[in-house]
Amino acid sequence: MLNNEKLHSYIESLFPDRNPLFSEMENYASEHHVPIMELAGIETMLQLLRIHRSSRILEVGTAIGYSALRMAAALPEAKIVTIERDIERIQTAKEYIQRSGRAEQITLIEGDALLVEDAVRSHGPFDAIFIDAAKGQYKKFFELYATYLKAEGMVITDNVLFKGLVAEAEIESKRIRNLVKKIDEFNQWLMNHPEYDSVILPVGDGIAISTKKR
């Protein structure tokens, strides 16, 4: 089992430094407790998107725009549509997107992802969908937006291992226990979905990669 703290730190140390704006965003997220994607997770996702040559990407859960801007920088030809409902984060994301010089690549849709389907529809279909919002609603996000996925499309879902808690037999907090149960139910549903091939990678907080079956 190649999954330990030392190795994790070693891998993270090998990633090249991000540009100053991304470092600033990472610091902002850390200081303001904004849960942006973990480094190993995002680097893995970016590499998958490069291999896949995704050019139209839908993201559910913008936060401050970190992953959207990382995708835009990694795939300069790509257009990213990203959804966020938190007003303060929307404002911060807008500021970072303006400062990045990549505003033309990114469309930020404001509102609850389960209620903005009409606004999203006109931007589809998508090569890739990245789900990184309320963990208890992953199945709903997946079912709603997979409709707008191209035949060769890929869905990436973050936090499916939820700090390893999905493999814990006993969890004290009832709230966390319920959330873990929902994530586990999503994982079981996804891995047995008749229309998708999926795999879960134990990087970052656990990412699931799903592609439509041929």
Ligand X SMILES: C[S@@+](CC[C@H](N)C(=O)[O-])C[C@H]1O[C@@H](n2cnc3c(N)ncnc32)[C@H](O)[C@@H]1O
Judged by beta carbon, residue 57 or residue 149, the one nearer ligand X is 57
Smallest gap from Cβ 63 to ligand X, in A, equals 4
In Å, how far are 148, 188, 203 from 145, measured between CA atoms?
A: 5, 19, 24
CA distance 124 to 129: 10
Smallest gap from Cβ 151 to ligand X, in A, equals 25
Output the CA angle 25-29-32, nearest 5 degrees.
130
Closest CA to 155 of 132, 173, 176, 171: 132
CA distance 12 to 71: 18
The two tokens of residue 82 are: 């990203």
Judged by beta carbon, residue 4 or residue 95, the one nearer ligand X is 95
26 near ligand X, rule: CB under 6 A:
no
- Interface residue with ligand X among 85, 102, 120, 205 (CB under 6 A) is 85
Interface characters, 132-161, with ligand X (x: CB under 6 A): xxx--x------------------------
- Contact (Cβ atoms closer than 8 angstroms) between residue 158 and residue 182: no
- Interface of this chain with ligand X, residues 64 to 83, rule: CB under 6 A: 66-67, 83
128 near ligand X, rule: CB under 6 A:
no
114 near ligand X, rule: CB under 6 A:
yes
63 near ligand X, rule: CB under 6 A:
yes
The total of other beta-carbon atoms located within 10 Å of residue 48's CB is 16
112 near ligand X, rule: CB under 6 A:
yes
Question: Which positions lie near ligand X, rule CB under 6 A?
Answer: 35-37, 61, 63, 66-67, 83-86, 89, 112-114, 132-134, 137
